[in-house]
Each structure stands twice: as C-alpha cells, then as structure tokens.
Amino acid sequence: MNWSEEKPEPEISEGKPETKISEEKPESEISEEKPEPETSEVASEILFIGDTGVLPLETRRVFVQLLIGPAIDARFHSKLWPILLRDEAIIRSRLSELFLTLMIDRDLQVAFTQQADTGELETPLLLRRAQLTFIDSVLLLYLRQCLTQSEARGERAVVATDEMIEYLKLYTRDASTDHAGFIKRMHASIEKIKKHRILHKIRAAEDRFEISPTLKILFSAERIQTLTKLYQQMAMGEVNSASTNNTAFADETFEVKE
C-alpha cells in the first residue's frame, strides 16, 4: 500500500501571562501548509525516569503513530485524530526536524508522512520506497477501484481474500505454467499489502478486510489511468503479462516505514 519549520521560542516577560491568539487558515483537500508552531511546549508532567520531552502524552502518541505508519486514520485512530488537528503545528515542526513532511487529507480524515523534498541537500532517509512487483501493482489497482466504487455508494470498502485471488487470476492466462508458484506469489502479495496496513482485518470476519482510504492518496489518478490502460491491453492479449513482470513496473513504488 507497496499497500514545518521549528520557530525560536519567544521571550516571556515576568509577571505577565502569555496570551495565545489562534488564527484559522483555509483548509485544502490535502494540506501541506505550515501553521505557526505553538508558543508553549511544556509537558504537564514527567512521563518516565529521565524524560526531557516537552510534549503532552497524547501528542507523543500521535507523533509515534505517524512514524510507525502508514497513516493515522480517524476511523481506526479516533482518539488520535482530534489531537493531531489540535497540535498540527508542533507535530509538523517536529517531523520537519526528521526531514519528513506531514500530509493531511481532511475530507478522508487521514494523515501520513512523506520524505521531505530537500533538493540537492543530502539528508538521511527514514522512509524507503518499496518496489512493487507486477502482481502487487495489479492488486493495488483492484483495491483502489473497489475503494472508489464503495465510496460512490456510501459504503465501507470491504474485500475478501477469495475475491482478490479471483481477480488476480485474470492475468495468469498467458503466464508461466507454474500455476502453484503463481498462487503462492498472489498470497505473498496480499500479505505484503496487509503488512503495510492497506488492508485492515474485520473483526468477527474470518477472511474479510477493509481497504484503507490511504490508498486513494498513494495511487494518484495519473498512475491509475496508466496502469488501467496497460491492464486492459493485457486482458485483450495485446501485452504479455510475463514480459511485464520485471520491466513495465520497475518504477512503481510507494513509501513505507520498517
């Protein structure tokens, strides 16, 4: 689902309580704007022996979840989402110190980090780009289409393992005769997508998963259009799926945290 800037602390004059004035800024569909960091970063208590941190406990939880990844989803992280919005400025600032950018889609109510574009400046990388195999790409596109269709119906995007396998089988007609090997690779691809939390197991459902809305952001409209065209050509026999396995998808990647 391959599945800010820190500002110097202002001076505080003795005997005069500091007054905070917040200024709302317009929201964009996916926000990269950098609001002003909070002027006060004092933790209410020491959380553990040797703790020198200044962020409150709940803000630290948000920060760690963003680093664990792949995203904070309001549906699955209902307690973290309002804290993220409240402390967005200081979280952006702290992520910026790690050369990471906070991305927020307020409509989908998901947030995640991306490696900051530092241009020619050489910086260490916390996120690596996971290479997608042909099967990975087909599966992600299928899940992306399921997500779009479910959203149009106002429903949760739910998919079963059998449904994913059946869809992937459409691209085996001209592949290797090693059917057992292809089935093994399909299951491996599903496990990879689950590992990166693009698929969330549904409780009380043995083999059904909900598709994370984060996938809508990871797969842009341009990428979907390109892959869909190629897959349609493959389905019509115009392109050999075996020949595309290691070439056509050499540049298909997504950022992951491990």
Burial class (CB in 10 A: 0-12, 13-18, 19+), 65: middle
**Who's near 230: CB < 8 A, 6+ residues apart?**
239, 244, 248
- Give the residue with greater pLDDT, 8 vs 98: 98
- The span from the CA of 10 to the CA of 2, in Å, is 43
Q: What is the mean pLDDT of residues 209-236?
A: 73
Dihedral sign for Cα atoms in the order 158, 194, 97, 128:
negative
- The span from the CA of 95 to the CA of 255, in Å, is 16
The pLDDT tens digits for 12-29 are 444 444 444 444 444 445
Give the domains, in start order, of the chain with CATH numbers: 30-126 (no CATH), 132-256 (1.10.10)
In the prediction, which pLDDT does 27 show?
46
The pLDDT tens digits for 101-152 are 999 989 888 898 988 888 888 888 887 766 778 888 889 889 988 988 898 8
Task: Give me the phi and psi of 248, to 5 degrees please.
Answer: -65, -25
